Structure 1
């Protein structure tokens, strides 16, 4: 009887563990992917019908005739493609004291092959989360995090801003996140303290600071192309922030295009990286991406109904703004595409990031949308992929990341088709290796099913 009850207990435990049984850790068992077409990202090429061996969290070998242990997990990937894990460099992890909701967001990213994220609205709990991910206690993308926001409300004086810098550096945050509302005096104090403490600052460019001062001050990355359009308007000193709108959306018709080369030269000279978040402009701001279009998007399943409703109201409120004009916004979106293309053409390094969760941007899924918008802006699929792989590795100073080669970190994504021909193929995830752990398609499907919020 005891033996029978013991068996029943083990059976119940196996069901309660559920998804965890489908994860294979390369530290315990070799992972071998055979017959796969490798997109190594060291150049624009494909290595056909390769075998990739993953052991102890690293890619231990790539070739056509390789030996591996009998106990290895062998994945036949005939006809499929293997790319490096992607990065989302403008992500949001819930800034709350409860780690459980954070895990849900992390899984949405991981399920989509996003193996690195940069959290852009920090919270003290994120430091604990980062540690638990690094120690393998929580499954999730490699996490880099900013501290809490520097903005017009949180920074009460230049001295207070400098003190915030020192405290966030001491706490162990990776970056400082700047938001709108900073005066020139407050910004200058923050920038000076950040350089002294050796912590990079990233994010928005306040209207009172402007992109030219931002470039001179040495941002690590400017996100959203914030301040770019305002900096191209000759009469900007006669305008206020309400007239230009968020990210300059109401000012696109007022720019001087002859200033674009100067902008590109400044960004390149100061080695300032750019995170476009074009998905926001294409989905939140553009008139043709209506709430009805979003409601028909299958990605909506993973957002709470109240969040979806908030996003819809945000879109409606934007379109009610007296300054909003569909034709003007269309020009704004096209101008942003042009600026993205000019960054690519002029050697200004682009990092992949869409800003999610944010209006009409669902974590993980929207990163793939961002890749498509980069291609729509004029980048080739290979150039777009670089923004989320090798560029991120260079930005983070991780030479063994963002690439598929012997000795590289085992963050890879198995997809159905060739992304160098069709960038939308990155969405067709067949499996993910995250920090040397294999997440099968079955595991991913079951995990996503558990995360469904909207029916």
Structure 2
């Protein structure tokens, strides 16, 4: 073996041992029934405020108290926040994560709740989801949506009749799916039957505009969430002129869309970064090459790297710049009107979107669109928690730091209501009561890069 190869092998072994030590240390801490955070500034996200220099006690994976003094058993783990800021863990409410390594990418980026919006493998939707949600494996709390369509062209499960629609809701519920994701080509009869059965069984309906129905009727029938802001282009706003098919709607039409959302209490995924990233690569192979050369790309799986390189977007010269700008104004107007926005990263199937990192890019995109730090952070914490509470029967409170809520916590160095960029470099993450400090998070990222062959790129 060449000397350089021996050094590389020794370094890989050292990193593996360090990662194992970190996992064992974190597991020992996670087994403790009670963990105390001292000397932290709490951003509870119940409203726009900060609780300065206080103590938070976590017991059995839930927040037990904020600011209360309690006599604790000797040996209770204490985390000294050193004046840092404790905020609710982030929620990625639209992704396509299906591997345990991608779960680690989310966790290392402060994501403690996720919704897989379709194409989850049976193993992920079943065994992996159960293990992670039970605290037996590291990762964010997992919710899954079963994607259905009326046509096989997009690769989703196909249902064509009301009878099949009702049956699939029961199958989804039996298999642990909290949501059904509707896609573009469902028939109107199938959609209506699905929405009725889902309401009866306590399964949430989320997803796209169904061309045969339209968003107004979908939300009236109980669809709880629109999976992309741009679905309003296809299912609510007037058709663009034939000679300008990518023209944006008039800004005057935004108010009607907001009124529709508010009338039905529906949620909308803000995916400004996703849409902007897609628009930037249409007809531009060099853009995809740049995404593959970006630092975060070292965490991609080989399959995703191949998928990005072969993406069809780069083969279609389309100019969506005006629609990208309209979306930013639309999202800003929704936020200012109090319409419930939730953040999603849509990674990793779209070139340029890496799990975890894409959610931070979405928060940045919301800020660029003019949202305040409170509005952007709400879309990634408090509002997703409200969405889950409304649509998943029996779900624990999340998205806020409050007694009884899940202990999904993110410790950062600065006040995120003043500087949201601090969320990108967590000092530690607690997911469901399991604490991972900065060294453990770094080891997660290093382990993913190592397993996915970054050293050989």
State the TM-score, normalizing by the size of structure 1. Answer: 0.83
Pick one of 156, 161, 174 that aligns with 1:158.
161
Which of 369, 377, 384 does residue 361 from structure 2 map onto?
369
1:15–1:378 CA distance, 2 compared to 1 (3 A): closer
Aligned partner of 1:10 in structure 2 is none
Query: 2:384, 2:258 → 1: CA distance?
Result: 20
Question: In the superposition, relative to structure 1, how do residues 256 and 161 fare at CA in structure 2: closer, same or farther (>3 Å)?
Answer: same
Unaligned runs of 5+ in 2: 1-15, 390-394
CA contact (8 A) 2:411 2:427 kept: yes
Q: Are the equivalent residues in 1 in contact too, given 2:35–2:77 (CA < 8 A)?
A: yes
Question: Is 1:270 aligned to residue 233 of structure 2?
Answer: no
Taking a change above 3 Å as real, the CA distance of residues 381 and 293 of structure 1, as seen in their structure-2 partners, is farther
Alignment partner, residue 45 of structure 1: 49
1:28/1:319 CA distance change after superposition, 3 Å: closer
**What whole-Å deviation, never above 9, does each CA across 1:373-403 have from its counterpart, x for those lacking one?**
1222221111111112221221122574222
Distance in 2 (CA, whole Å) between partners of 1:291 and 1:86 is: 27
Contact 2:144 2:178 in 1 (8 A): yes
Greater shift in the superposed pair: 383-392 or 150-159? 150-159
Q: 1: distance between equivalents of 2:159 and 2:52? A: 58
**Deviation of the 1:150 alpha carbon:** 3.2
Q: 1:294 aligns with which of 288, 291, 294?
A: 291
Shift of 1:87: 0.9
Q: Quote how far apart the aligned CAs of 1:15 are.
A: 7.4
* Cα distance change on mapping 1:161 and 1:391 into 2, 3 Å: same
The answer to whether the Cα contact below 8 Å between 2:149 and 2:159 also exists between their aligned partners in 1 is no
Give the 3-state SS of the residue equivalent to 1:82 in structure 2.
strand
Structure 2: distance between partners of 1:72 and 1:274: 42
Gaps of 5+ in 1: 1-12, 95-101, 245-249
Counterpart position of 1:3: none
| 1:342-401: CA deviation from partner (whole Å, max 9, x where unpaired) | 221223211121212232111112111111112222211111111122212211225742
Counterpart position of 2:246: 251
What is the CA–CA distance in structure 1 between the aligned matches of 2:189 and 2:59, rounded to whole Å?
A: 52
Look up the match of 2:129. Answer: 130
Deviation at 1:235, TM superposition (A): 4.0
Aligned counterparts of 1:214 and 1:55: Cα–Cα separation in 2:
41
Q: Secondary structure at the match of 1:299?
A: helix
Q: Residue 4 of structure 1 corresponds to which residue in structure 2?
A: none
In the alignment, is residue 93 of structure 1 matched against residue 97 of structure 2?
yes
Q: Which residue of 1 aligns with 2:333?
A: 342
Q: Is 2:320 aligned against 1:351?
A: no
Q: Is the 8 A contact 1:176 1:200 kept in 2?
A: yes
RMSD (Å) for aligned C-alpha atoms? 2.8
- Per the TM alignment, residue 266 of structure 1 is displaced from its structure 2 partner at its CA by 1.1
Q: 2:225 aligns with which of 197, 218, 221?
A: 221
Matches within 5 A, 1:4-15: none
Q: Which runs of 4+ in 1 moved over 4 A?
A: 13-17, 64-70
Aligned 1:34-433 pairs, distance under 5 A: 34-63=38-67, 68-94=72-98, 102-121=99-118, 122-125=120-123, 126-153=125-152, 154-159=157-162, 160-231=164-235, 233-235=237-239, 251-253=246-248, 255-286=249-280, 290-291=287-288, 293-314=290-311, 317-322=312-317, 324-325=318-319, 329-359=320-350, 360-397=352-389, 400-433=397-430
SS in structure 1 of the partner of residue 41 of structure 2: strand
CA gap of 1:213–1:62, structure 2 versus 1, over 3 A, is closer
Preserved CA contact (<8 Å) 1:341 1:379: yes
| Inter-partner Cα distance in structure 1 for 2:397 and 2:448 | 32
Correspondence for 2:8: none
SS in 2 for 1:408: coil
Task: Report the 3-state secondary structure (helix = DSSP H, G, I; strand = E; otherwise coil) of the residue aligned with 2:66.
Answer: strand
How far apart are 1:293 and its partner, in Å?
4.3
1:449 to partner: Cα distance = 0.6
- Contact 2:38 2:80 (C-alpha < 8 Å) held by counterparts: yes
TM norm structure 2: 0.83
Partner SS state of residue 356, structure 1: coil
| Range with greater deviation from structure 2 (123-132 or 198-207) | 123-132
